[in-house]
Structure 1
Amino acid sequence: MTNIIVGIGENKNILKACDAFKKENKNVNITLVQNDDDLVNAILDNNVDAVIRGSLPASGVMKELKSKFTDISRATYINGDGVEFLLTPVGIDEGRTLEDKLKIAIHCAEFLKKQSKKPKIAVMACGRKGDYGRSDEISKSIDDSEKLTEMIRKNTDFEVINHYILIEQAIKDNCNVIIAPDGIIGNIIFRTLVLVNSWPSCGAVTFGIDNVYIDTSRDQNVEGYLRSLKLAYNLQCR
């Protein structure tokens, strides 16, 4: 029997998703929790196969995990018809330094390799290369994107391309890791693609911990939560 723990907050779509998932998977036991402490305890429990945030708030859970694990990061897994990539950073307080983004890029690429997929990393900036000088903020972002691209090349053997602000080109080029300039922009990209335009997301995969934890949005629909349950189940079965 596979044991999955799911957080329940104000959005009850997660309950409908759990009911649908249990009908399709008779060998799964789903336990519902309603607070951060129980969710964190489940993540740390080796007898639990997978944990899904569901519709609980994220800040308390991530704060607690970051106090226990020094190498933790997240990436939203977007997977639909003809489109598949990890978008990161997506937490508004994540990806603040080049070193943070390098670590996240490596985590994403290693995750894809475990799924027998070849990583292709796109680094993003707040403007095109030709926009340099339009403002100090834009120039710094372009400088940072070029530095990060070089850091990834020097520290890994993964394919990496600096697409600057052209995220549409990164997706057309089938890049399966997209590194946003920072967590705020990454979060806005996620909300625009997934919550506004209904691109299919499986939730955010959490790296740097031993157990499977899928960090989902509080605002997801039933189908989105169902995809997260399927991802968690498939990951713990590997």
Structure 2
Amino acid sequence: MKTIAIGVGENENIIQACHIFKEKHPKTDIRLIYSDDDLIKAVLDDNVDAVVRGSLPASNIMQYLKKHYPNLSRATYVNGDGHEFLLSPVGIDEGNTVEEKYEIVRNCIDFLKKVGKKPKIAILAEGREDDFGRGSEVSNSIIDSKKLTKMIQENTDEEVENCFILIEKAINSKANIIIAPNGRAGNIIFRTLVLVSSWPSHGAVTFGIDRVYIDTSRDQSIDGYVRSLILADELSK
């Protein structure tokens, strides 16, 4: 029997989600985890097929995992309103350099190809191209977005477009990899689309680790946690 471990914190939507998932997947064993330490042990346990963070806090878990897996990164799988894409970086301390974002792009490309999808990449910045000069942070973000776009063009065969601040352009173009200017911006985009506008999300796929680990928001809905369990179940195959 397959085993999926999931963290239970203050958001008890987790419990109801597990009941719903179990009804449709009776051959999958669900192990409820109530502490950061036990969730980390589950990630490293060969008898556990997949782990979902659930509603436990992320900081301690990610800090520990990054010690063992220094190239760890995440991309949220958003599938709503006819759109399907990976959004990254979404961790508030991730994607702060062009090199970090390039590695995230490579991981997203590899993941999509493994699940039989053709990558189409959109790069975001903190302003339009003609906003250059309106503050150092905006200008640096625009410069970085151009560098990242060029790196992808020179080192891959994938379609890529610099959409600058126009996230609506990235979504309308059906890009299935959307790269935020940094993890803080990515986290806000995630919360706006998923937690405010109710776009379905399956949680964040974790790269750079030889285990199936799905990162989730502590504020997710019952349906959101069910989708994360489904994704963990599928990826563990």
For the aligned pair, the TM-score class normalised by the smaller chain equals over 0.9
Q: Which amino acid aligns with 1:22?
A: K
How far apart are residue 80 of structure 1 and its match?
2.6
Q: Which amino acid aligns with 2:166?
A: L
Would the aligned equivalents of 2:202 and 2:228 in 1 still touch at CA under 8 Å?
A: yes
Aligned residue pairs, count: 237
**2:98 matched residue in structure 1:** 98
How far apart are residue 79 of structure 1 and its match?
1.2
Matched, 1:49 2:49: yes
3-state secondary structure, aligned to 1:219: coil
TM-score normalised by length of structure 2: 0.98
Matched, 1:187 2:187: yes
How far apart are residue 155 of structure 1 and its match?
2.1
User: What is the alpha-carbon distance in structure 1 between the residues aligned to residue 129 and residue 157 of structure 2?
Assistant: 24
| 54-63 vs 40-49, greater mean Cα deviation | 40-49
Would the aligned equivalents of 2:119 and 2:158 in 1 still touch at CA under 8 Å?
A: yes
3-state secondary structure, aligned to 1:225: helix
User: What is the alpha-carbon distance in structure 1 between the residues aligned to residue 81 and residue 128 of structure 2?
Assistant: 28
Q: Which amino acid aligns with 2:195?
A: L
Would the aligned equivalents of 2:5 and 2:39 in 1 still touch at CA under 8 Å?
A: yes
| 207-216 vs 75-84, greater mean Cα deviation | 75-84
Alignment of 1:139-178 (within 5 A): 139-178=139-178
User: What is the alpha-carbon distance in structure 2 between the residues aligned to residue 226 and residue 24 of structure 1?
Assistant: 11
How far apart are residue 150 of structure 1 and its match?
0.6
**1:20 matched residue in structure 2:** 20
**2:10 matched residue in structure 1:** 10
User: What is the alpha-carbon distance in structure 2 between the residues aligned to residue 47 and residue 80 of structure 1?
Assistant: 33
**1:229 matched residue in structure 2:** 229
**2:205 matched residue in structure 1:** 205
For residues 118-139 of structure 1, give each alpha carbon's deviation from its aligned partner in whole angstroms, at most 9, with x where no partner exists.
Answer: 0011110001111111222111
3-state secondary structure, aligned to 2:202: strand
**1:34 matched residue in structure 2:** 34
User: What is the alpha-carbon distance in structure 2 between the residues aligned to residue 205 and residue 111 of structure 1?
Assistant: 9
Q: Flag as ranges the 4+ runs of structure 1 deviating above 4 A.
A: none
Measured on the aligned residues, the alpha-carbon RMSD in Å equals 0.8
Would the aligned equivalents of 1:7 and 1:55 in 2 still touch at CA under 8 Å?
A: yes
Q: Which amino acid aligns with 2:115?
A: Q
TM-score normalised by length of structure 1: 0.98
User: What is the alpha-carbon distance in structure 2 between the residues aligned to residue 209 and residue 133 of structure 1?
Assistant: 40
3-state secondary structure, aligned to 1:87: strand
**2:82 matched residue in structure 1:** 82
How far apart are residue 234 of structure 1 and its match?
0.8
Would the aligned equivalents of 1:46 and 1:211 in 2 still touch at CA under 8 Å?
A: no
Would the aligned equivalents of 1:57 and 1:218 in 2 still touch at CA under 8 Å?
A: yes
3-state secondary structure, aligned to 1:45: coil
3-state secondary structure, aligned to 1:10: coil
User: What is the alpha-carbon distance in structure 1 between the residues aligned to residue 25 and residue 204 of structure 2?
Assistant: 22
Equivalent pairs: percent with the same residue?
62
How far apart are residue 81 of structure 1 and its match?
4.0
Would the aligned equivalents of 2:53 and 2:215 in 1 still touch at CA under 8 Å?
A: yes
3-state secondary structure, aligned to 2:31: strand
User: What is the alpha-carbon distance in structure 1 between the residues aligned to residue 214 and residue 59 of structure 2?
Assistant: 14
User: What is the alpha-carbon distance in structure 2 between the residues aligned to residue 135 and residue 4 of structure 1?
Assistant: 47
Q: Which amino acid aligns with 1:121?
A: I
User: What is the alpha-carbon distance in structure 1 between the residues aligned to residue 161 and residue 5 of structure 2?
Assistant: 38
3-state secondary structure, aligned to 2:86: strand
Q: Which amino acid aligns with 2:229?
A: L
**1:115 matched residue in structure 2:** 115
How far apart are residue 185 of structure 1 and its match?
0.4
Q: Which amino acid aligns with 2:103?
A: K
Would the aligned equivalents of 2:90 and 2:186 in 1 still touch at CA under 8 Å?
A: yes
Would the aligned equivalents of 2:81 and 2:199 in 1 still touch at CA under 8 Å?
A: no
Q: Which amino acid aligns with 1:124?
A: L
